[in-house]
Amino acid sequence: MRESLLLENGFEVVEADEPQYLEELRKNIFIIAKQIFELPGSDPMEGLNNFHRSISNLTLGDLNKKRIECIERITVECNAVEAIFKSFEQRILGLLGPDILAQKTCNLVIQPPGDPNPSELHRDAPGNSPYELVVWVPLVNCFGTKTMYILDITHSEKALDRLAENPQDWDIFEQYVKSNAKRPNVAFGQALIFHAGCLHGSDINSERDTRVSLNVRYKNLFSPSGLKNQLQFFKLLRASHVTSLGSRFEARDLQK
């Protein structure tokens, strides 16, 4: 298994090990989206690409309410966190080990063409644990301004050092990030996996189609948790045999 690109850059575009789980997940998400947003058609790629045509009469408030409803139903009905893990299981296990915690809720991002509120420049850690991986999964083919931008780990460290020296110069900081960032093409069936410390964000989508993507975070059970309550935001997804036996042993001792 090749891991050098992610370990060197802090991010990598990878192919799904088991793409059938992504296919099934997208199909089920599209069914939910059709019900909530009244989308036409039966083809998920076409329907999601043209999502903006069906929601043009919604206010931003109504759109966000429906998006939250969609996230809640995807979490409960589709088990998206598990489906994404299964799709990229060998890659995630190779990077994190056999004892895996997963974010309880999978985030859904919808950015129609011209949406004035793209994801702002940020990094997930600190706040989130610096031992987390973010798995960003587009449900449509993403390229150009329809994808996200990401700064490799070395340039992210340099950018943060520059900001620390001149904390008032956000515009210069943002310009440095965007001029050095990569904007990888990520097709449906692939994922952008990156370290939580990489600076990233998205530009205003100036392509003709809507960007629809999912993102979820995974970490090792035994790695530090960061500032967030691990029990509140994460659930146990996989445990090694020894961890299962150890948990059983500890539980028995606690009952005495």
Domain boundaries, given as residue ranges, for the chain: 4-254
d(CA 181, CA 183): 7
**What confidence score (pLDDT) does residue 231 get?**
77
With a CB cutoff of 8 Å and minimum separation 6, the contacts of 254 are: none
pLDDT digits (tens, 9 = 90+) for 52-97: 998 888 887 888 899 899 988 988 899 999 999 999 999 999 999 9
Contact assessment for residue 102 and residue 234, using Cβ atoms and an 8 Å cutoff = yes
Angle between helices 19-37 and 60-73 (to 10 degrees): 140
**Per CATH, the architecture of 4-254 is what?**
Sandwich (2.60)
Average pLDDT of 239-243? 89
Angle between helices 153-165 and 170-180 (to 10 degrees): 170
d(CA 47, CA 55): 12
Average predicted confidence (pLDDT) for the chain:
91
Share of the chain above pLDDT 70, in %: 96
d(CA 124, CA 130): 8
The distance in angstroms from the start CA to the end CA of the chain is 45
pLDDT band at 216 (very low <50, low <70, confident <90, very high): very high
Q: Report the alpha-carbon angle 194-235-198, nearest 5.
A: 15
Average pLDDT of 201-230? 92
Average pLDDT of 228-254? 81
pLDDT digits (tens, 9 = 90+) for 107-125: 999 999 999 989 999 999 8
